[in-house]
Amino acid sequence: MEVILSFINKILYPVILMFTILPQLSSAQDEGANHTFSDINLENKKIIANLSIADLVEEVSPSVVNITVSYIPDSPQATGYGSGFIISANKEVVTNFHLVDNVDKIEIELNDGKIYPATILGTDEETDLALLQLQTDFTLPYLSLPKNTKNRVGEWVFAIGNPYGMGQSVSLGVISAIGRARENGGSYIDYIQTDASINKGNSGGPLINLKGEVIGVNSAIYSPTGANIGIAFVIPLKVVKNVITGIRDYGRMKRGYIGVILKTEKFQVEGESPNYSLNSLYGATIKKIIPKSPSYSFGLKEGDIILDINGSTIRDATQATRLIGALKPNELIDIIIRRRNKTYKFKVMIGERPSKSTLESFND
Catalytic (active-site) positions: 98, 128, 203
Neighbours of 265 (CB within 10 A): 16
- Vertex 235 angle, CA 360 and 112, to 5°: 120
Q: Running DSSP on this structure, what letter comes out for residue 145?
A: P
Rg (alpha carbons) of the chain, rounded to whole number = 27
Residue environment code for 169-185, b if the CB has 16+ CB neighbours within 10 A, otherwise e: bbbebebbeeebeeeeb
Q: Is 357 helix (H, G, I), strand (E, B) or coil?
A: helix
How far apart CA 161 and CA 323 sit, in angstroms, is 33
Instruction: Provide, for the chain, the percentages of residues in helix, strand and coil under a 3-state DSSP scheme, each rounded to the nearest 5.
Output: 25, 35, 40
| DSSP character string of 207-270 | EEETTS-EEEEEEEE--SSSS--S-EEEEEHHHHHHHHHHHHHHSS---EE--EEEEEEEEE-T
CA dihedral 186, 192, 195, 199 (to 10 degrees): -40
Q: Running DSSP on this structure, what letter comes out for residue 35?
A: S
Neighbours of 149 (CB within 10 A): 17
Q: Running DSSP on this structure, what letter comes out for residue 64?
A: E
Give the residue among 150, 257, 250, 269 at the shortest CA–CA distance from 210.
150
How far apart CA 14 and CA 349 sit, in angstroms, is 81
